[in-house]
Amino acid sequence: MEDRQFGRIRFVCGDNNGKYPFNHSLYLQGDRSRVIIDPACSLEKLTRLKDEGVDYVWLSHWHEDHIRYIDLFENHSLQISRRDFPPLTDINIFLDWYDIKIPQERSNWKRIILEVFNFRPRCEANFLEDGATVDLGGLTVQVLPTPGHTPGHLSFFFPEEGLLFLGDYDLTSFGPWYGDVYSDIDETIKSIHKLKAVPARKWFASHDTGLFEENPGRLWDDYENVIYERENKLLAFLEKPKTIAEICAAWLIYGRPREPKEMYEFNERVLVRKHLEYLQRQDKIVSEDERYVKA
C-alpha cells in the first residue's frame, strides 16, 4: 500500500498496513494551517512530515494506536474532542478508562503505554467542537462527532474533495470495538449509520484497507452485523446459566484463543461484559448467583 495525495489531503499509509499498534494518518495541507491527524503511522514518515511542516496535531480519539508518535510533536498544539482529552492528561486516567485494575496487568500496560506508545501527559489542548467547520485555507473540514468507540471519537468530512475519514469505524471484518469503560454499543450503531449516510466519494479508515475509492457498500452492513452476530452467539450460549469466566473461555468474540494471550483474554472479557450489560438493559438476559441466563 502506498501514500496517496488527494488535492490537499495526503493519506499516509502506516507500518504493518496500519494494523495495531500502528494506524494510517492523514496530512492536511491548508494554506493557513497544516495538520497531522492521528500521528501513529510510521516514525520515519512522521519525522519527514514534521520537516515538511506541521502546525497542529488532531486526534480522532485517545487510543494509544493513534498517539504512538505524538511525542515528535510535543511542542505542537493538540486538538481533540473535549470528551476524549482526560486520558491524555494522566497515565492513570488512561488505564482507568480501559478498566485495567489488576496490579500486575496495570503495571505491565503502564510500561507498554509509556515505552512503546511514548505516552507523555499533555496538560493543554484545544477542543474540536462537534459539528464545527474548520477552514484551514483552501481546505474545509467538518467535524463529525461519532461516539461509541470512545465517547469523544471524531470523524472528519472534507466536502471539497468528497472525502470522509472514518477513524476507528474501520470496516474491518473483526467488527467494531466498544470494550472500554465509556464505550457504548448503541452509540456505535448510531455512529455507523451516521457515517454511512455522509455523501462521500472516497473513504479513509485508520486501519487495514484504509482507503476505499468506491463506496464500501456491503461492508457497512457486514461491519454492523458483527455486533448482532456477537449478541446472537452470546444469547445462544446463555440457554443455560453461565459465569463470566465460562463465557470468556468459549471465545465467542475472537473465535479462538490468540496471542498475546493476556491481551486477547482481556479484550474478550471487556467486550463480553459490554454485551452482557447491553442485553441486561434490554431484559434479554437475567443474572443470578453470578451466572447469566437468557430471559
Which residues would be at the binding site for Zn ion (CB under 5 A)? 63, 168
Residue nearest to Zn ion according to CB distances in the complex: 63
CA separation for the pair 220, 196 (Å, rounded): 7
Question: Residue 106, class by beta-carbon neighbours within 10 Å (0-12 exposed, 13-18 middle, 19+ buried)?
Answer: middle
- Residue type (1 letter), 207: H
DSSP character for 128? Answer: P
Sign of CA dihedral 28, 34, 35, 40: positive
Query: Nearest CA to 206 among 152, 155, 254, 150?
Result: 155
The residue written with cell numbers 446472537 in the block is 232
Residue with Cβ nearer Zn ion (168 or 184): 168
Minimum CB distance to Zn ion smaller for 168 or for 268: 168
Q: For Zn ion, give the closer residue by CB, 29 or 188.
A: 188
Q: Tell me the closest approach of the beta carbon of residue 155 to Zn ion, in angstroms.
A: 12
We find the least distance from the C-beta atom of residue 222 to Zn ion, in angstroms, to be 19
In the complex, the smallest distance separating the C-beta of residue 149 from Zn ion, rounded to whole angstroms, is 6
Q: What is the 3-state secondary structure (H, E, C) of 5-40?
A: EECCEEEECCHHHHCCCCCCEEEEECCCCEEEECCC
CB of 69 vs Zn ion, minimal distance in Å: 16
Instruction: Give the nearest distance from C-beta 131 to Zn ion in angstroms.
Output: 21
